[in-house]
Structure 1
């Protein structure tokens, strides 16, 4: 139950207030991690900062893709040890996969594959918001929080649905109250704009 930057309830409630429609939630579960993964593929084409010598022929490149994955992984672990550890593992698996894919594709084909995947996944998310949620995406109100929280949010959502996971007792009840208050405030502001 951290405060400020690592206040999981606050982040989860912010993101959840924009994702209450079940179809939109499914769209995000499908598209968020591929956006993260393909971003890492693109970052694989940044300069290598260090090479791990024990990892094969030329060594495993530690570049901005690695930095990006590490920042996300650390952020998630600091927010919740159990789910965060799983999210961190997924971040590093995405990073390893991105090394492999970027190496196979090369830059000239890689950026085209990334662009196509990103356009497809972002379009799916905007369709989820426009057609089903009927609310603009969270990233329009807080870009950094929405982009940083999205992968962890959909993972927590899946863990809750599949395993009834709660970071601590009362977490989902507290978050639900905050989401409901935010949605009521949003509805009220929407009504004011109509009149």
Structure 2
């Protein structure tokens, strides 16, 4: 049976993307840490593009790619994610204009170091598993903002891209975590 809203397979398979990322984020404290710090990482990455990229449109292109990708995965949550991408782009552009290169890259450095440190603490202390980016850098970077948005929408308004989505991805996450634990146990013996 074909899955609605971007669940058909390949690069647009929301269930696969969500389950991949979700398998690395099963601890509630770690998910909360990511919810707080993933979007600031995105915003300051756009700020970095505004102040350092050779093309004046690099930040615009990055925000547009992320927003378009999220829209293709799920129209409703993707529209909200695309709006957040636009707001991050606008805020980072305003910050870049105000701060300039000298202060801008320093803000990026401090924010990125702090946010990444918090996420690694979340993984090391609470999740007790390396971050997803160590296994699939591109997928982790693309999915992180959308994953935390979907997690927040599900928690606060019981949002599902389609009926049964969370049940389906829950099964995939359990399978992926079981496989990871088995591989980890094999390495220990």
Q: Using the TM superposition, give the Cα deviation of residue 2 of structure 1 relative to its aligned residue in structure 2, in angstroms.
A: 2.5
- Spell out, residue by residue over 1:139-174, the C-alpha distance to the aligned partner (whole angstroms, 9 max, x if none): 000000000000000000000000000001111000
- Structure of greater Rg: 1
Q: How many residues align?
A: 182
Instruction: Specify the SS of the correspondent of 1:44.
Output: helix
Q: Using the TM superposition, give the Cα deviation of residue 190 of structure 1 relative to its aligned residue in structure 2, in angstroms.
A: 1.1
2:52 is equivalent to residue 38 of structure 1: no
Alignment partner of 1:72 out of 56, 66, 71: 66
Unaligned runs of 5+ in 1: 50-62
Unaligned runs of 5+ in 2: 1-6
Superposition misfits of 4+ residues, deviation over 4 angstroms: none
Q: Using the TM superposition, give the Cα deviation of residue 17 of structure 1 relative to its aligned residue in structure 2, in angstroms.
A: 0.2
Alignment partner of 2:107 out of 108, 113, 136: 113
Contact 1:2 1:79 in 2 (8 A): no
Q: Tell me the residue number matched to 2:16.
A: 10
Q: Using the TM superposition, give the Cα deviation of residue 48 of structure 1 relative to its aligned residue in structure 2, in angstroms.
A: 4.8
* TM-score, with length taken from structure 1: 0.92
Q: Using the TM superposition, give the Cα deviation of residue 194 of structure 1 relative to its aligned residue in structure 2, in angstroms.
A: 1.4
Q: Using the TM superposition, give the Cα deviation of residue 26 of structure 1 relative to its aligned residue in structure 2, in angstroms.
A: 0.4
Alignment partner of 1:87 out of 81, 95, 103: 81
* TM-score, with length taken from structure 2: 0.95
